[in-house]
Chain A
Amino acid sequence: MKSFVTHTGILAPLDRANVDTDAIIPKQFLKSIKKTGFGPHLFDEWRYLDHGEPGMDLTQRVKNPDFVLNQDRYENATILIARENFGCGSSREHAPWAIEDYGFRVILATSFADIFFSNCFKNGLLPIVLSGETIDRLFESTYTNNGYALTIDLENQSITLPSNEKISFQVDTFRKHCLMNGLDDIGLTMQHSESIKAFEKTYYQKNSWLL
Chain B
Amino acid sequence: MQAKTLYEKLFESHIVREDAGTYLIYIDRHLVHEVTSPQAFEGLRVNHRPVWRNKSVLAVPDHNVPTTDRSLGISDPISKIQVETLDENCKHFGLTQFPMNDNRQGIVHVIGPEQGSTLPGMTIVCGDSHTSTHGAFGALAMGIGTSEVEHVLATQCLILKKFKTMEVRVEGKLNKGITSKDIALALIGKIGTAGGTGYAIEFTGESIRTLSMESRMTICNMAIEAGARAGMVAVDEVTIAYIENRPFSPKGEAFEKAKVYWKTLHSDKDAKFDKIIKLNGNEILPQVTWGTSPEMVVSIDGMTPDPKKENDLSKRKGIEDALVYMGLEANLPINQISVDKIFIGSCTNSRIEDLREAASILKGKKIAKNIKLALVVPGSGLVKLQAEKEGLDKIFIDAGFEWREPGCSMCLAMNADRLDPGERCASTSNRNFEGRQGQGGRTHLVSPSMAAAASVHGHFVDIRALS
- Decide: A174 near B19, CB < 8 A? Known: A113-B227, A209-B255: yes
User: How far is it, in angstroms, between the C-alpha of A62 and the C-alpha of B444 when the chains are bound?
Assistant: 29
Interface string of A43-83 (1 = CB under 8 A from B): 00100000100100000000000000000000000000001
Contact status B413-A185, CB under 8 Å: no
Contact status B155-A189, CB under 8 Å: yes
Contact among A45, A88, A173, A209 with B434 in the assembled complex (CB-CB below 8 Å):
A45
Which residues from chain A contact B194 at a C-beta distance below 8 Å? Answer: 18, 84-85, 88, 111, 113
Contact status A91-B145, CB under 8 Å: yes
Contact status A189-B146, CB under 8 Å: no
Say whether B197 faces chain A, with CB atoms less than 8 Å apart: yes
User: How far is it, in angstroms, between the C-alpha of A31 and the C-alpha of B86 when the chains are bound?
Assistant: 12
Say whether A30 faces chain B, with CB atoms less than 8 Å apart: yes
Contact among A23, A114, A209 with B254 in the assembled complex (CB-CB below 8 Å):
A209
User: How far is it, in angstroms, between the C-alpha of A85 and the C-alpha of B196 when the chains are bound?
Assistant: 11
User: How far is it, in angstroms, between the C-alpha of A26 and the C-alpha of B146 when the chains are bound?
Assistant: 17
- Decide: A209 near B250, CB < 8 A? Known: A33-B81, A33-B82, A186-B155: yes
- Decide: A88 near B227, CB < 8 A? Known: A114-B197, A192-B17: yes
- Decide: A186 near B250, CB < 8 A? Known: A113-B194, A122-B147, A174-B19: no
> Which residue of A is nearest B253, CB measured?
A209
Contact status A186-B151, CB under 8 Å: yes
Q: Give B319 Cβ to nearest chain A Cβ, in Å.
A: 11
Q: Which of A20-34 contact B (CB under 8 A)?
A: 20, 22-23, 26-28, 30-34
11 A-B pairs besides A31-B35, A92-B145, A208-B257 with CB distance below 8 A are: A16-B318, A23-B433, A26-B439, A89-B129, A93-B127, A111-B194, A111-B197, A189-B154, A189-B155, A207-B121, A209-B250
Q: Taking beta carbons and an 8 Å cutoff, which residues of B are in contact with A?
A: 16-17, 19-20, 22, 24, 26, 28, 35-36, 38-39, 42-43, 47, 49, 52, 63-64, 76, 78-79, 81-82, 85, 119, 121-122, 127-129, 143-148, 150-151, 154-157, 159, 161, 193-194, 197-198, 227, 229, 250, 254-255, 257-258, 261, 293, 314, 318, 412-414, 431, 433-436, 439
21 sampled A-B residue pairs with Cβ under 8 A: A18-B293, A22-B412, A23-B433, A31-B79, A31-B81, A32-B78, A35-B146, A45-B439, A83-B314, A85-B227, A88-B194, A91-B128, A91-B129, A111-B194, A113-B227, A115-B129, A185-B147, A189-B155, A195-B16, A196-B156, A210-B122
